[in-house]
Amino acid sequence: MVAISRRGHNRTNARRPALAIDSPRLISLPFQTFRHRSGALYLGIDIGTSSVKAVLLDEHGAIAAQSSAPLEVSRPAPGFSEQDPRQWWEATVRAVQTVPAAMRSRVRALGLSGQMHGATLLDERDRPLRPAILWNDARSAEECLELERREPAARTITGNILMPGFTAPKLLWVARHEPEVFRRTAHVLLPKDYVRLCLTGERVSDMSDAAGTGWLDVARREWSDAMLAASDLSRAYMPRLVEGSSPSATLTAAAAEQLGVPPVIVAGGGGDNAASAVGLGVVRAGEAFLSLGTSGVLFVVTDRFRPNPERAAHAFCHCLPQRWHQMSVMLSAASTLEWIAQIVGEADLGKLAAGAEAHGLTRHSPLFLPYLTGERTPHNDPHARGVLFGLRPDTMPAELTAAVLEGVAFAFADGLDVLTETSDPVGEISITGGGARVPYWGRLIAAALRRPLTYREGGEVGAALGAARLGQLAAGEGTEADVCVAPPVVRIVEPDAPLAALLASRRRVFQRLYRDLKGAFAEFA
């Protein structure tokens, strides 16, 4: 089930950064045990881009253990981003098997979350036909336009501008450039749902992950025949849909034995951001969180479908019934810190960020556009690129790092402006993701947003924690009100007024830079 044909693909593995912001080395250990209580445990598995994370949640809602296993990304051409689906399964097995057998034997249910949008093409025997095309792959910009030309109601149906990161335009690209692969495609799955197939033998997805494909009627929470037809597909290619907190299937005996867990129910689960919301207790209209991971996300729950495609906001289903959410998404967030670390030759990210804080920002500091791999909200511009502006002969590495951290903060502020146009009033904003472990970054973001940021226990494993909670709900062991509670507050970072005033004046130049350079980006593509 996991054999892959590499015919026609000249693949090279990208070298991983010396220190990945989402890597287990920054979580602290590949495996940690926090409590040894007896009783039921709920397993959450998050199929990320840089690693697979596993979390065990006890019956009191506390994290009992966590582990992770790294993943590699392949970039065979500029703008391409791919992964071998076998990695997801192998890393899942490694991450779960790292947990002591005595704890695994107490698992009562399992939930899945994962990176969204990845196109995993399977043949009639459920074997991958090529490497999966990931969420941050930019090759299908022309196909986005073609798909909207084929189905003029695309934005009304999906609630979104079709972007290269989405799954549907990737299939048009494959049909155009790899017609034999497209001809042999019998099923299309998302990353976490390929792992579900390995676990259960069933092809199933949930509403939140499916909403990011470009094939879902998001208001009705069902596949759109019109969008599928525009992609030369039908419902026969698609997985069955369930709500994220509902049962989807049961572990096969073989998978249960390999993982060392009982043959338990697997919840529908959720896309990584929707699952993170459940982990942070962001489940009611107006509640919000900010994810400072490889990509950056501002997520706000809505009680109904509220699209805003003209501003490149995402309007997706939540992984809980009868709820939706809006997101602003930036493609390069915490990954920009890894990038500048390589540029200045400093492998210690904590030391790098501390140096930036010590140097600080002034009116004359350099500015950074953080669009290293293009941008989604609010620009929907796959051709945008990173820019350092205002360099001087005496510009130091600490200034460059401060500019990078500030540029990401400005991009989040742009996203918040978009969300406040059509969403419910945005309430408290919790923060999660590997970049949340950089205190100075939190100060800059709070000042740029002019909003406090709330740090909570377990925020760094939000998606896996949310997946475990969805597993508990699917097993019928607790209500949403009991299970989906906000973790305890660790600290709240209030916006610093002088810093906020400085950033407001600098942000005006930041925004003008993109407008002035937009045409040049397109010519440079």
DSSP, collapsed to helix, strand or coil, labels residue 132 as strand
Tokens representing 87? 């990695």
Contacts of 40 (CB under 8 A, 6+ apart): 58, 59, 106, 107, 108, 477
Tokens representing 361? 């920002």
In the block, residue with structure tokens 């951290």: 405
Tokens representing 298? 């501002």
Run of H or E including 177: helix 167-177
Q: How far is CA 365 from the centre of its chain?
A: 31
Q: Is the dihedral of CA 33, 35, 38, 41 positive or negative?
A: negative
Could you give the CA distance from residue 418 to residue 326 in angstroms, rounded to a whole number?
Answer: 10
Pairing of strands 288-292, 429-432: parallel
Tokens representing 441? 């970054």
Q: What is the DSSP letter of 321?
A: T
Pairing of strands 63-70, 31-33: antiparallel
In terms of Cβ atoms closer than 10 Å to its own Cβ (0-12, 13-18, 19+), residue 458 is buried
Cα distances (angstroms) measured from residue 478 to each of 61, 123, 196, 322: 10, 39, 23, 19
Active site residue 272: yes
Could you give the CA distance from residue 478 to residue 469 in angstroms, rounded to a whole number?
Answer: 9
Tokens representing 192? 């976490």
Instruction: For 320-359, give the secondary structure using H, E and C.
Output: CCCCEEEEEEECCCCHHHHHHHHHHCCCCHHHHHHHHHHH
Among 16, 23, 62, 18, smallest CA distance to 39 is for 62
Could you give the CA distance from residue 495 to residue 510 in angstroms, rounded to a whole number?
Answer: 20
Pairing of strands 429-432, 387-389: unpaired
| Residue 231 and residue 171 in contact, taking contact as beta carbons nearer than 8 Å | yes
| Residue 181 and residue 130 in contact, taking contact as beta carbons nearer than 8 Å | yes
Tokens representing 124? 């009639």
Choose, from 84, 206, 272, 424, the residue flagged as catalytic.
272
Could you give the angle at which helices 397-422 and 497-524 cross, rounded to 10 degrees? 90
| Catalytic positions, written as ranges | 272
